[in-house]
Amino acid sequence: EDILARNPDGVVLSNGPGDPAATGEYAVPEIKKLLDSGKPLMGICLGHQMLAIALGARTLKMEQGHHGANHPVKDLTTGKVEIVSMNHEFSVDGASLPEAVVETHVSLFDGTNCGIALKDRPVFSVQHHPEASSGPTDSLYLFKRFVDSMRA
């Protein structure tokens, strides 16, 4: 309610440490309210995982996490490969994505989910850290996409 009372143009669900299921116990109900508001949303890393849970998907503990600044990720919407930074121990189970959600990015190391978007609303998220600019600018288009969705 505090966030929506400020009437933001959009909301970023930021990265942060933790188990998405445990953090999601208090955050997912709030994310669902943000989803219901119709505001554009962008999730990064833990924000990506919690958004996926709020949309009905599951997360999984990885045997080995993704850590470092040299991870190849494929954008399935464009076919472009980006070199990104990652730092996580959990991933979104791509097989659990509901019908309204499309997988947008995958890891070329192990095929795990690295991005989602809603088909009918300006809501998307990525597992990697576009703010880290490891490509050095491979993922900056994500911020442009978010700003464009807020302007629309």
Q: Which residues form the catalytic set? A: 45, 129, 131
**C-alpha span between 146 and 152 (Å, rounded):** 10
CA-atom Rg of the chain in angstroms: 14
Q: Among 85, 61, 89, which Cα is nearest to 72's?
A: 85
